[in-house]
A and B are shown apart, each in its own frame.
Chain A
């Protein structure tokens, strides 16, 4: 094998490997996509006799489902917005001020993110009863905000570290307050980070069925995630077509959100300096 051949192989190899990986990643998706347009879908991957939108129409036209989707959106969007605002504020002193226990605070926060939510749900349930928040959509949002706050603060603090100070200082010289500085200078420079956190919190709660399952009782308050979970339980895997259509509908908001912010994301993922605190 001469040098030229080797060079060609080196050039082609990565493409071949990546294509193979891509195929492996796309295969599991195939079934849901095909089944969602087939009213007679079975577990086996097979070409539908006729492609139909019936499954989708059935899912979309159901008032119950519309409601569930709307509630899910309110919950997840509400949470994402609140987390970003509050975490941005909290991240500011962590990034800019010299504080004694900063590092231990950051590590505590990080560990808190790892505690399984299932573990704390019973105390949370009791807390909700005493605060009269049980079966309230707003209560669920509050809990979501609290539980994703550590992650939000942690990420935004790291993003903020990379925003240069000079611009902010220049703004102060012009008479801006600290808050104006954050709003007009720091936040716009952190859009990638903000998007990352927003998407992360959004998809976290959008996909969570356990928290609403414990904290809500009235089926009218159920978000889409809980509806889908029950879809599994009740009909088992029988109504494959509907299940697949619901699943795809349900995945759409996360995907849309991701696409909208894609141009910010890659940059936003730098973790260098993450553990420095």
Chain B
């Protein structure tokens, strides 16, 4: 009798509850309307939010310049992705894949820009750039354009900041152990000698910190290994032949430096340096607390010491020095740095490409890009900003920008992220006692496996 009815009633009620619950929850999940209701064009800008939310420098910069944006028909909407740096790249790649989720403008790390470009996620900007005076009249530092050029030779983004790497050192400690307070090492041996002096005279202080673990990811590859490798006169990737260099004296030299630091116990304890927090431990604890003499790290670490930073340290301007990383034997060009940085790109799946481009031109003009780098403590990519007194008065800005003259970029290659993982494995194994020759041999095998027999070259 009513048996069948009751049964379907029960099923229906379950479905109804499900649907109702869904509607309720959808209501409270906040609207995701991207197109705005007032007939205005909405330009969404996606960037990485490190958790600072509306206090973050990018968010504040974006809302400030958006308020002054002359074209009132366009509304600028921040669409941050809250994630760690590594996770951000994965989330961006997922978002760029689809028309539904792709923003109109996205901030891309130059590290991943090439991969995203060859995946077809990004719009080439060459045609548009040709028409933009700022780009063609030398306002942008020429070397910085390398970082946004993909392997197909096209430009996929407009850079807005960069960074350089070098040797941070604590002048107070240097004074205490009798080293010069204005320090410019000429070659690797002088760096090691300074570390040895610290170890001898102040045994409680860590002489030199380099990130050497897999857990620190790209920091190990770029701040440590590549700084050494390029300083030894070698490259990761041979542009002429289009192949990865898997065997060379330069690789052994770079690893030799890592080996020496660990063998002579000039570095931090391995338990501290081989975990994911190592970078923060060095810049936020050891350096400000005077427990570390020399740190091979990026120009941005001073951001930690600002009042708004993670580890405020007002005295850093006087206590710290920033020396260039010398080449291995002091050969030309004398010092070396690797440069990274971020760019604004337009996704291929963006809805309003023209409006997005107009906004990028406005956002990265001299005035606005200066506002951004000043607020975030980064280095500018514009030559005109670099000369501006408002910019140069920030501690270390001038010197960090100067190092960019010899700046090298990571290979704009698809396989770079994977090769980078192998670099980290190699460096960590040397740090934990494997001989450079063995570690390099394994690296050669692993890279060959990743890029294939035809993609590698020995020197």
> Distance (Å) between the CB of B141 and the closest chain A CB?
31
Among residues of B, the one whose C-beta sits closest to the C-beta of A220 is B30
Q: How far is the CB of B122 from chain A (nearest CB, A)?
A: 19
Shortest B197–chain A CB gap in Å is 31
Residues of B close to A89: CB separation below 8 A: 10, 14
**Segment 273-308 of B: residues with Cβ below 8 Å from A:** 277, 280, 284
**Contacts A125-B94, A137-B28, A177-B3; A85 near B14 (Cβ below 8 A):** yes
Does B131 reach chain A (CB closer than 8 Å)? no
Tell me, in angstroms, the Cα distance from A136 to B30 when the chains sit together: 9
Q: Is there contact, CB below 8 Å, between A64 and B53?
A: yes
Q: Which residue of B lies closest to A121 (CB)?
A: B94
Contact of A219 among B3, B82, B284 (CB under 8 A): B82
Q: How many A-B residue pairs have CB under 8 A?
A: 90
Is B454 an interface position by the 8 A CB rule?
A: no
Partner-contacting stretch, out of B18-26, B333-341, B397-405: B18-26
Which candidate, B95-103, B104-112, B376-384, is the interface stretch facing chain A?
B95-103
Q: How far is the CB of A201 from chain B (nearest CB, A)?
A: 15
A218 to B103, CA, bound (A): 13
CA distance A71 to B91 in the complex (A): 21
Cβ of B103 to closest chain A Cβ, rounded Å: 10
The answer on a CB contact under 8 Å between B277 and A237 is: yes
Asked whether A179 and B53 contact (CB < 8 A) given A78-B25, A135-B32, A141-B25, the answer is no
User: In this assembly, does B51 line the interface, its C-beta being within 8 Å of a C-beta of chain A?
Assistant: yes
Cross-chain contact A234 with B51 (CB below 8 angstroms): yes
Q: Mark A40-72, 1 if CB is under 8 A from B, else 0.
A: 000000000000000000000000100000010
Roughly how many angstroms separate A231 CA and B83 CA in the complex, as a whole number?
A: 10
Given A178-B3, A213-B87, A235-B310, answer yes or no on A137-B26 (Cβ-Cβ < 8 Å): yes
Indicate if the CB atoms of B100 and A179 lie closer than 8 Å: no
B264 contacts partner chain A, Cβ-Cβ < 8 Å: no
Is A233 within 8 A of B18, CB to CB?
Answer: no
Q: How many residues of A contact B (CB 8 A)?
A: 38
Q: Does A134 contact B (CB under 8 A)?
A: yes
Closest to B23 in A: A138
Which residue from chain B places its CB closest to the CB of A235 in the assembled complex? Answer: B310
Tell yes or no: A9 within 8 A of B by CB: no
Interface string of B1-14 (1 = CB under 8 A from A): 01100110010001
With contact pairs A137-B28, A217-B101 given, residues A177 and B82 touching in the complex (Cβ less than 8 Å): no
Of the listed residues A82, A179, A230, A236, the one surrounded by the most CB atoms of chain B closer than 10 A to its CB is A236
Interface status of B330 (Cβ within 8 A of chain A): no
Is A266 among interface residues, defined by CB-CB distance under 8 A?
Answer: no
B7 touches A134 (CB 8 A): no
Q: Is A74 part of the contact surface with B, judged by Cβ < 8 Å?
A: yes
Verify if A107 is at the interface (C-beta below 8 Å from B): no
Closest to A239 in B: B310
In whole angstroms, how far apart are the Cα atoms of A179 and B28 in the complex? 33
Residues of chain A within 8 A of B49, CB atoms compared: 219
Q: Does A206 contact B (CB under 8 A)?
A: no
Cβ-defined contact, B32 with A138, below 8 A: no
Contacts of B100 in A (CB 8 A): 129, 132, 134
In residues 221-261 of chain A, which contact B (Cβ within 8 Å)?
221-222, 230-231, 233-238
Partner pick for A178 among B7, B30, B101, CB 8 A cutoff: B7
Cβ of B336 to closest chain A Cβ, rounded Å:
29
CB–CB B25/A74 < 8 A: yes
| CB-based contact B22/A177 at 8 Å | no
Interface residue? A165 (CB, 8 A): no
Chain B residues with CB under 8 Å of chain A are 2-3, 6-7, 10, 14, 17-18, 21-22, 25-26, 28-30, 32, 49-51, 53, 79-84, 87, 91, 94-95, 98, 100-101, 277, 280, 284, 310-311
Nearest 9 Cβ contacts at the A-B interface: A234-B51, A233-B84, A138-B22, A137-B29, A138-B25, A219-B82, A236-B280, A236-B277, A137-B25
